[in-house]
Structure 1
Amino acid sequence: MRIGLLVVAGFLFIQTGFAQPNVALSQLDWKVVGKLKTRDAKAIKSSTWSIGGETLDRDYTDYQSYKTYLGPLGAKRIRLQGGWSKCEKVKGQYDFAWLDAVIPDAASRGVAPWVELSYGNPIYEGGGEAKLAGHIPTSPQALTAWDNWVRAIVTRYKNQVPEWEIWNEPDLNPAHTGTEIGQFYVRTARLVKSIQPNARLIALGMASVTKLGFVKDFYDELKKENALDLVDIMTYHGYAHNPDSSYPNIEKMRQLVWTYNANVVFMQGENGAPSTPKAVTIGALRDQDWSELTQAKWDLRRMLGDHGRGIATNLFTISDIHYTAGDHMVGVNTKGLLQTNPDKTIKRPKLAYQAAQHVFSLFDDQVELLPSIKPAVSQETVMAFVYRRRKENGSLITLWNGEARPAEEYIPKPTTVTVKGQFTQPVFVDLITGHVYEIPKKQYQKSGDSWTFTEIPVPDYPVMIAEKSSINF
């Protein structure tokens, strides 16, 4: 493997043939004592992490090419799209062979599928469109055909798919209203429940996190139909250049939804950053230049920003997506953790794949968020969340600077962190590289049950202060 070194402002950047610049902090005499071990999904009992497997319904990605990367990634769930128009190309005849080759295989790798019921089917008049931002089916004939397909797919996979999401980004189509989508949702949700009573139902796949009127109209319709209990999970997307800037609007949405049903669980249903300059990628965030390094930083900030607020995350997406003519856009969406060849086969993992492995492997159901503990940090733009490992009871603190969108070059800010925690041997962890560093003893001290760490280098992506015994390396 080709290795080169680049020193910027006192920090060491290691360049490898594996991907774009692989960043590792080298702080004075800080000693590297190991590297985080990653875990296959089958070795992880449970977690809130999901990976995107979208657009197989339109053949924009190739599951057979990326499936071997799925288990080693460590996510416990995968989002798939059911693809009415791919299943039913001739009226009344269903071909599920393509999903039969995906759903059981993903489950066999320790990754539970959750399936989105979408899009329309133009073989029916008023059947809607089989693409992003397409309209839902509206004619009596098309709605009956939709019901028939939903009945067929849920019946076929009810023992393999525990969760069903109904539609994707309905607010992207300006003709849709929250009321109309509410009626369509209730119709579909009741049908799913009649076949699979224990199914968990997912709404709403909102593209925007600011269209609260749309959300209100949707829930007003569900309330009118006495159907508020038909939403178990609320999903939203809402891409932002600085992922940390999204949360005020997300919180407004949460508070609104909880006035209707306080039991609704929130999940980031689709989010990720491109890995290429704006001249190359399509899709959200395409108006800025990106690299594999800034993609990895952004993805980590979204994942751990969500996790620190009790929000489950579906990272978008496992493979670059090749959109073709006739859809909402044309070209390659480079948000994949895996770089593709022109034929959609996998070229190699990107830096973000490695970063995601570290988070998925570490933050499983044995790591507990402690929202009542708020670290004191000397930099007001530093985000900080506290966790503990249930069995060992050791503390973990995630830290990053959220002042702006991730940069190609960034000088970490020396930060003092004071927190109540349990440490015997604290270490510093870089979540991109997985490197574990020994923190010099002169840079931390204990007073009662509080610990103070001084001059901790906090970059513009998540790092950790962790009890050594609480991480696997």
Structure 2
Amino acid sequence: MERLIFCGSVVPKDPKEIKFSRLGIGFEKLDRGVFDPERAYDKLAKIGVKWVRVQSGWQRTERERGKYDFGWLDAIVDRLRSDGMTPWMNIVYGNSLYDERAADVFGAVGCPPIFSKEAHSAWLAYVRALTAHFCGRVEYYEIWNEPDGKSCWKHGPNPQEYGRFALETARAIKEGDPEAKAVGGALCYANIHFLEAAAEAGFFDEIDAVSYHCYTPFDKAMRDHCLAITALARLYKPGIEIIQGESGTQSRSGGNGALKRGAWSERKQAKYMVRHLISDLLCGVKFASYFSCMDMIEALRGLSSDKSTYQDYGYFGVLSARFDEDGFAIGEYKPKPSYRTLQTLASVFAGEWQVVPLPVLPRPDKSDRIFGSDVNDFAVQSGGFERPDGSRAYVYWYAADLMTTEYEGTVSLQVAGMPGEVRLIDLFDGSIYRLPESICERLGGNRMTLHNLPIRDYPMLLTFGDFYSEREQA
């Protein structure tokens, strides 16, 4: 990067100033009280994301039959809204008042209320009460969490069961609030057979959006997953919104949960984040949510009677934590490198834009920088964005194996028909650069060749015009 001319850094945005955004973060598991939200709110607000996923916690809310205490959830929703963020709600889990099995499980996780008419009726009554209570404050409601995984559908995933459950829950959501949006899916596996089998049971009849979760170190697998779900969903309901509801990874080895066996580090976590969120945006999702704000226990397989079964620490957070003897997240809640990466993405991609093809073409050339040639054109991952004012941005990276490689190379690009000043933004750390004449060869009109640009194993963004105009000058 030393050949580039550093000219500033991306300035984090206050969510109150952002009218539109496609980026979010998870603020989950407060139904099980695993961290102190009061100590996280200020740092959460300074990230600049708009969408915040919270979990509704039937078990915590209805402790006496037919009586709902939404006070704890009101405090979360109202604080997020006052800080300029948009909460959306994952409606979960079971309730031991109506299901003896749920009494044995910490947080009643994975105990769907489908085994008795009483439990199912109580669930629907709770959903109606929930959406009526939050009418005007919450719009999007997600139906259950990862029903295709055994941790969250403990008697064994069944797509027909979930399809019927989603249909009836979606109706209850709208009975409580006719303006609410019902989100189905929250699927943890890349399995379109599950989704189509659920469709046969009425899954798509009442829902307004489909959500998916994706935990994989492979960019292509993630994009294939999103595009396949989108294609199937829009066969049943053209134009239906697609939401990425969870995707993230750990910042160290020795954790629990998805991708736990990998030799992760804080740097790898941040690179994973930017690669995946950019890929989500290029797939055209309504919004994409990083999992998660906090390091915290996974708390998906715990037994109520044995706290050792849910002291399964996960290190997915953009804020780090230590843990007390009960598994509660304590300490400073200190930002990791991924915190700055998410700030950068949230600021750069705030506001309206659309995914578009751009007249930018990788063309390998000799590269003295690496005593060889530029990266092959077919190895470059890329995409384009355009704002309503016509400003554009071209994102590119080399999808090297995150676990074994720290990649640095060069790429040369042919550019045509792209007016405006050119800048390069490092989406990992927010650094902004001008391109010297030795790199940017002007050929007349809006034609140029960019010679031997740096390319890394995470996305960097070339902006043309005022795609990102708010710069903190060095």
Of 235-244 and 364-373, more deviation after overlay is shown by: 364-373
Question: How do 1:86-125 and structure 2 match up within 5 A?
Answer: 86-125=60-99
Query: What's 1:59 paired with?
Result: 33
Query: What's 1:422 paired with?
Result: 418
Equivalents in 1 of 2:363, 2:227: separation in Å? 23
SS at match of 2:201: helix
Equivalents in 1 of 2:126, 2:100: separation in Å? 16
Query: What's 2:184 paired with?
Result: 203
Judging changes above 3 Å, is the alpha-carbon distance between structure 1 residues 243 and 138 closer, same or farther for their aligned structure 2 residues?
A: farther
SS at match of 1:170: coil
Return the letter of the residue paired with 2:174: K
Describe the superposition over 1:140-162 as per-residue Cα deviations: whole angstroms up to 9, x where unpaired.
11111112211221111112101
Equivalents in 2 of 1:244, 1:65: separation in Å? 37
Return the letter of the residue paired with 1:88: E
Equivalents in 2 of 1:243, 1:179: separation in Å? 30
Residue 231 of structure 1 pairs with residue 207 of structure 2: yes
Contact residue 424 and residue 433 of structure 2 kept, 8 A = yes
Of 77-86 and 425-434, more deviation after overlay is shown by: 425-434
Judging changes above 3 Å, is the alpha-carbon distance between structure 1 residues 370 and 273 closer, same or farther for their aligned structure 2 residues?
A: same
SS at match of 1:137: coil
Judging changes above 3 Å, is the alpha-carbon distance between structure 1 residues 372 and 423 closer, same or farther for their aligned structure 2 residues?
A: closer
Residue 148 of structure 1 pairs with residue 130 of structure 2: no
Equivalents in 1 of 2:258, 2:417: separation in Å? 39
Query: What's 2:450 paired with?
Result: 453
Judging changes above 3 Å, is the alpha-carbon distance between structure 1 residues 421 and 460 closer, same or farther for their aligned structure 2 residues?
A: farther
Contact residue 283 and residue 329 of structure 1 kept, 8 A = no
Contact residue 101 and residue 111 of structure 2 kept, 8 A = no
Contact residue 422 and residue 463 of structure 2 kept, 8 A = yes
**CA positional deviation for 1:297:** 0.4
Residue 363 of structure 1 pairs with residue 352 of structure 2: no
* Equivalent position to 2:379, from 375, 378, 381: 381
Unaligned runs of 5+ in 2: 365-375
Of 50-59 and 250-259, more deviation after overlay is shown by: 250-259
Query: What's 1:71 paired with?
Result: 45
Describe the superposition over 1:347-400 as per-residue Cα deviations: whole angstroms up to 9, x where unpaired.
311110100011111112333321465643543222111123333x33211111
Return the letter of the residue paired with 2:172: L
Equivalents in 1 of 2:209, 2:64: separation in Å? 33
Query: What's 2:252 paired with?
Result: 276
Judging changes above 3 Å, is the alpha-carbon distance between structure 1 residues 110 and 453 closer, same or farther for their aligned structure 2 residues?
A: same
Residue 313 of structure 1 pairs with residue 293 of structure 2: no
Of 132-141 and 97-106, more deviation after overlay is shown by: 132-141
SS at match of 2:200: helix
Contact residue 113 and residue 123 of structure 2 kept, 8 A = no
Query: What's 1:213 paired with?
Result: 193
Equivalents in 2 of 1:214, 1:459: separation in Å? 36
Residue 184 of structure 1 pairs with residue 165 of structure 2: yes
What TM-score do the two structures reach when normalised by structure 2? 0.87
**CA positional deviation for 1:450:** 4.0
**CA positional deviation for 1:232:** 1.4
Return the letter of the residue paired with 1:344: A
Equivalents in 2 of 1:377, 1:364: separation in Å? 31
Equivalents in 1 of 2:420, 2:218: separation in Å? 35
Contact residue 121 and residue 127 of structure 1 kept, 8 A = no
Return the letter of the residue paired with 1:159: G
Equivalents in 1 of 2:250, 2:69: separation in Å? 33
**CA positional deviation for 1:95:** 1.7
SS at match of 1:189: helix
Equivalents in 2 of 1:229, 1:419: separation in Å? 46
Contact residue 338 and residue 348 of structure 1 kept, 8 A = yes
Contact residue 232 and residue 263 of structure 1 kept, 8 A = no
Equivalents in 2 of 1:251, 1:69: separation in Å? 33
**CA positional deviation for 1:171:** 0.5
SS at match of 2:125: helix
Judging changes above 3 Å, is the alpha-carbon distance between structure 1 residues 406 and 446 closer, same or farther for their aligned structure 2 residues?
A: farther
Contact residue 416 and residue 453 of structure 1 kept, 8 A = yes
**CA positional deviation for 1:195:** 2.1
**CA positional deviation for 1:34:** 0.9
Return the letter of the residue paired with 2:311: V
Return the letter of the residue paired with 2:211: T
* Equivalent position to 1:440, from 436, 443, 449: 436
What TM-score do the two structures reach when normalised by structure 1? 0.87
* Equivalent position to 2:388, from 387, 390, 398: 390
Query: What's 2:231 paired with?
Result: 255
**CA positional deviation for 1:330:** 3.5
Contact residue 293 and residue 351 of structure 1 kept, 8 A = yes
Query: What's 1:7 paired with?
Result: none
Contact residue 387 and residue 397 of structure 1 kept, 8 A = yes
Judging changes above 3 Å, is the alpha-carbon distance between structure 1 residues 252 and 469 closer, same or farther for their aligned structure 2 residues?
A: closer
**CA positional deviation for 1:163:** 0.8
Unaligned runs of 5+ in 1: 1-25
